[in-house]
Structure 1
Amino acid sequence: MRRRSLIAAAGAAALLLAGCANTPRQDAGTLAIGKLTTALPDGVTLLRPARGAPQLVTAQGQARTGQRASANDAQTRFLVGSISKWIATVAVLRLVDQGRLALDQPVTTWLPELPPASRAVTLRHLLSNTSGIPNGVAQALRQDRAAIEGSRITPLEGALRYGTGAPAFEPGSRFDYSFTNWVIVGGIVERVTGDPFQQVVARLVLQPAGVRDTGFADAAWESLPHAALAYAKDKTTRKSSAMPPMVAASGTVYSTAADLVAIADAVYAGGLLSDRARRELLTVQHAAEDYALGCRVREIGKNSTKHTVVWNSGVFGGYKTLLAYAPANGAAVVLLNNTDIEQAEQRETAQKLLDALLQAR
Structure 2
Amino acid sequence: MKHLLSLTFLAILCSITFTCTAQSYVKKADSLFYIHEQENGPGLSIIVSKNGEPLYKNHTGFSNIEHQIPINDDTRFLVGSISKQFTVFSMLLLEQQNKLSIDDPITKYLPELKALPHQITIRMLANHTNGFRNNTDLNGLRGRSDQDLIGQREMVFLLLRQRGLNFEPGERFQYNNAGYVLLAEIVTRVSGIPFQEFVRERIFKPLNMTSSQFINGSTSVITKKANSYYKNKDKYHYYPMNRSIVGSTGLYTTTQDLIKWTQIFVDSKLGSPAIISKMIQPSTLNSGEKIPYGLGLETKNYRGVKVIFHGGGDAAFRAYLLHIPEHNFTVAVAGNYESFNPLTIAYGMIDVFLEQSLTPKTTPSNPKPTKTQLEAYTGTYQVFPGFYIHIKSRRDSLFLQPHNTTNEVFLPVISENSFQFTPRQHSKLVFGKDELLWHFSDFSYPAKKVTLTPIDNSQIQIEEYLGTFYNDELQTTYTFVKKGEKIIAKHAFNSDVELVPIDKDSFITDSSILGRVDFERNEQNIIISCKISGQTAYNIPFIKYRE
TM-score, scaled to structure 1: 0.81
Q: 1:284 to 1:262 in 2, by over 3 A?
A: same
1:17-70 CA-partner distances (Å, limit 9, x unpaired): 975998xxx99867643543453443111111x21433422011111123x211
In the other structure, the counterpart of 1:356 is 352
1:116 deviates by 4.8
TM-score, scaled to structure 2: 0.55
AA aligned to 1:195 is: I
Q: In structure 2, how many angstroms separate the alpha carbons of the residues matched to 1:122 and 1:284?
A: 16
Bigger strand fraction:
2
Query: For 1:119-198, what aligned pairs fall within 5 Å after superposition?
Result: 120-135=119-134, 138-145=137-144, 149-154=148-153, 158-163=155-160, 164-198=162-196
Q: In structure 1, how many angstroms separate the alpha carbons of the residues matched to 2:65 and 2:157?
A: 41
Q: In structure 2, how many angstroms separate the alpha carbons of the residues matched to 1:211 and 1:18?
A: 36
AA aligned to 1:349 is: I
In the other structure, the counterpart of 1:14 is none
Show structure 1 runs of 5+ residues with no match. 1-16
Q: Is the 8 A contact 1:267 1:273 kept in 2?
A: no
SS of the residue aligned with 2:151? coil
Q: In structure 2, how many angstroms separate the alpha carbons of the residues matched to 1:348 and 1:342?
A: 9
In the other structure, the counterpart of 2:237 is 237
| Alignment: residue pair count | 329
SS of the residue aligned with 2:334? strand
Q: In structure 2, how many angstroms separate the alpha carbons of the residues matched to 1:183 and 1:250?
A: 6
Q: In structure 1, how many angstroms separate the alpha carbons of the residues matched to 2:33 and 2:112?
A: 52
1:256 deviates by 0.3
Is 199-208 or 165-174 further displaced after alignment?
165-174
Counting aligned pairs with the same residue, the percent is 23
Q: In structure 1, how many angstroms separate the alpha carbons of the residues matched to 2:333 and 2:115?
A: 43
SS of the residue aligned with 1:131? coil
Q: 1:151 to 1:29 in 2, by over 3 A?
A: closer
Q: 1:264 to 1:159 in 2, by over 3 A?
A: same
Q: In structure 2, how many angstroms separate the alpha carbons of the residues matched to 1:315 and 1:289?
A: 22
1:130 deviates by 0.8
Pairwise CA RMSD? 2.9
AA aligned to 1:318 is: A
Q: 1:167 to 1:267 in 2, by over 3 A?
A: same
AA aligned to 2:96 is: D
In the other structure, the counterpart of 1:291 is 293
Q: Is the 8 A contact 2:262 2:330 kept in 1?
A: no
Q: 1:60 to 1:311 in 2, by over 3 A?
A: same
1:156-212 CA-partner distances (Å, limit 9, x unpaired): x74454143243322122122222111211111111112111111112211111110
In the other structure, the counterpart of 1:8 is none
Q: Is the 8 A contact 2:280 2:293 kept in 1?
A: no
Q: In structure 2, how many angstroms separate the alpha carbons of the residues matched to 1:53 and 1:144?
A: 46
Bigger helix fraction:
1
In the other structure, the counterpart of 2:77 is 78
Q: 1:147 to 1:33 in 2, by over 3 A?
A: closer
SS of the residue aligned with 2:83? helix
1:126 deviates by 0.4
Q: In structure 2, how many angstroms separate the alpha carbons of the residues matched to 1:188 and 1:56?
A: 39
Q: In structure 2, how many angstroms separate the alpha carbons of the residues matched to 1:18 and 1:27?
A: 10
2:59 paired with 1:59: yes
Q: Is the 8 A contact 1:134 1:165 kept in 2?
A: no
Query: For 1:181-220, what aligned pairs fall within 5 Å after superposition?
Result: 181-217=179-215, 218-220=217-219
In the other structure, the counterpart of 2:32 is 36
1:61-110 CA-partner distances (Å, limit 9, x unpaired): 111123x2111111111110111111111111111111112111111121
Q: In structure 1, how many angstroms separate the alpha carbons of the residues matched to 2:52 and 2:174?
A: 37
